[in-house]
Amino acid sequence: MRKDIHPENYRLVVFKDMSNDYSFVTKSCAPSKETVTWEDGNEYPVIKLDISHMSHPFFTGKQKLVDTAGRIDKFNSRYKRK
């Protein structure tokens, strides 16, 4: 294994699924400008996710449409037959 290729700044980070407000804490080196106070009273950086294992159809067995950017409405308005 090559040396000095992995980041050194791993820290605890909160990942928050925006579709169902599920959050979990894990180690990451991903950058974040926002912080959140976790259940233990400590403040951690937060990374917002569109989908996680709690909302993904493969894990839940339910098909759920996540349209956070309004792409479906843009598509429908662009290609709507007159």
| Three-state SS at 58 | helix
| Three-state SS at 26 | strand
The pTM assigned to this predicted structure is 0.63
Q: Would the pLDDT of 62 be above 70? A: no
Instruction: Return the pLDDT at 64.
Output: 58
Instruction: Return the pLDDT at 18.
Output: 81
pLDDT tens per residue across span 12-56: 999 988 878 888 999 999 899 999 999 999 999 999 887 776 765
Of the pLDDT bands very low, low, confident and very high (cuts 50, 70, 90), residue 80 is confident
Instruction: List Cα–Cα distances, 16 to 35, 66, 70, in angstroms.
Output: 11, 15, 20
Closest CA relative to residue 27, chosen from 39, 44, 13: 13
